Amino acid sequence: MRFKNEINAVLEKEKWQLVNKRLVGKMLSEYMYEDMIHPEIVETIGKQSTYELTISSMKRYRFSAIPRLFDSFDVQPDSIQVLKDKEWVAVTSAIELLLDLKPLIGMTSETTAHLTKELNHTLLADAHILTKDSKTSDELIHEDYRFIEGEMTGHPWITYNKGRIGFGYDDYLDYAPENQRDVKLSWIAVHNSRASFQAVEGKAVEELLEGELDAVTRQRFEQVLTEKGLNRTDYFFMPIHEWQWKNVIIQNFAEDLAIGNIVALGDGDDSYLPQQSIRTFVNQSDHNKHHVKLPMSILNTLVYRGLPSERTQIAPQITEFIKGIHAQDSFLKEECRVILPGEIASIDYGHKYYEALNHAPYQYLEMLGVIWRESIYTYLEDGEQAITLAALLHVDKNGKPFVESLIEESGLTAEKWMAQFFEVVMNPLLHFMYQYGTVFSPHGQNTILVLKGHHPHRLAVKDFVDDVNISDQSFQELSGLSDELKAVLRSEPPEGLTQFIFTGLFICHLRYLSSILDSKELLGETEFWRMLAESIQNYQSRFPELKERYELFDFFKPELTKLCLNRNRMVDYGYAEGDDRPHASEFGKVTNALAQFSLV
| 74: three-class secondary structure by DSSP | strand
Residue 596 lies in a domain: no
- Element (DSSP H or E) covering residue 252: helix 250-252
Query: What are the Cα distances from residue 21, in Å, to 18, 79, 93, 113, 488?
Result: 5, 9, 7, 20, 42
CATH code where residue 485 lies: 1.10.510.40
| Residue at which a domain ends, from 100, 130, 149 | 149
Average pLDDT, the chain: 96
| Residue at which a domain ends, from 149, 170, 202 | 149
| Domain co-membership, 94 together with 55 | yes
Residue 561 lies in a domain: no
Q: Is the pLDDT of residue 17 over 70?
A: yes
How far from the centroid of its chain's Cα atoms is residue 589's Cα?
24
| Domain co-membership, 405 together with 372 | no
Q: List the domain range (segments joined by +) for residue 262.
A: 182-376
Q: Is the pLDDT of residue 202 over 70?
A: yes
Residue 569 lies in a domain: no
Question: How far is residue 436's CA from residue 427's CA, in Å, rounded to a whole number?
Answer: 13
The confidence score (pLDDT) of residue 100 equals: 98
The confidence score (pLDDT) of residue 600 equals: 67
Q: Is the pLDDT of residue 316 over 80?
A: yes
Residue 588 lies in a domain: no
| Domain co-membership, 74 together with 115 | yes
User: For residue range 545-561, what is the model confidence (pLDDT) as tens digits?
Assistant: 999 999 999 999 999 99
Q: What is the pTM of this model?
A: 0.96
Residue 207 lies in a domain: yes
Instruction: For residue 183, list its beta bridge partners.
Output: 272
| 379: three-class secondary structure by DSSP | helix
| Domain co-membership, 138 together with 196 | no
- Element (DSSP H or E) covering residue 283: strand 280-283
> Other CB atoms closer than 10 Å to residue 10's CB: what's the count?
19
Q: Is the pLDDT of residue 68 over 70?
A: yes
The confidence score (pLDDT) of residue 485 equals: 87
Query: What are the Cα distances from residue 481, in Å, to 310, 491, 495?
Result: 16, 12, 22
Question: How far is residue 24's CA from residue 80's CA, in Å, rounded to a whole number?
Answer: 8
Residue 549 lies in a domain: yes
Question: How far is residue 153's CA from residue 321's CA, in Å, rounded to a whole number?
Answer: 33
User: For residue range 441-493, what is the model confidence (pLDDT) as tens digits?
Assistant: 998 889 999 999 999 999 999 999 888 999 999 899 998 888 888 888 888 99
| 44: three-class secondary structure by DSSP | strand
CATH code where residue 67 lies: 3.30.310.280
User: For residue range 232-261, what is the model confidence (pLDDT) as tens digits?
Assistant: 999 999 999 999 999 999 999 999 999 999
Q: Is the pLDDT of residue 46 over 80?
A: yes
Residue 174 lies in a domain: no
Report residue 73's pLDDT band, with 50, 70 and 90 as the boundaries: very high
User: For residue range 381-436, what is the model confidence (pLDDT) as tens digits?
Assistant: 999 999 999 999 999 999 999 999 999 999 999 999 999 999 999 999 999 999 99
Mean pLDDT of 579-600: 91
Radius of gyration over every alpha carbon of the chain, rounded to an integer in angstroms? 24
Total count of domains within the chain: 3
Looking only at the bridges linking them, the beta strands covering 59-68 and 48-56 are antiparallel
| Domain co-membership, 106 together with 188 | no
| Domain co-membership, 279 together with 320 | yes
* Cβ–Cβ < 8 Å for 50, 88: no
| Domain co-membership, 209 together with 317 | yes
Instruction: For residue 52, list its beta bridge partners.
Output: 40, 62
| Domain co-membership, 421 together with 307 | no
| Domain co-membership, 103 together with 222 | no
Angle at the Cα of 354 from the Cα atoms of 352 and 356, rounded to 5 degrees: 70
Count CA atoms within 13 Å of residue 242 on its CB side.
15
| Domain co-membership, 372 together with 413 | no
User: For residue range 141-181, what is the model confidence (pLDDT) as tens digits?
Assistant: 999 999 999 999 999 999 999 999 999 999 999 999 999 99
Looking only at the bridges linking them, the beta strands covering 490-492 and 469-471 are parallel
| Domain co-membership, 345 together with 436 | no
Residue 594 lies in a domain: no
DSSP class of 178: G
Question: How far is residue 58's CA from residue 54's CA, in Å, rounded to a whole number?
Answer: 9
| 40: three-class secondary structure by DSSP | strand
| Residue at which a domain ends, from 532, 555, 578 | 555
| Domain co-membership, 60 together with 132 | yes
Mean pLDDT of 10-38: 97
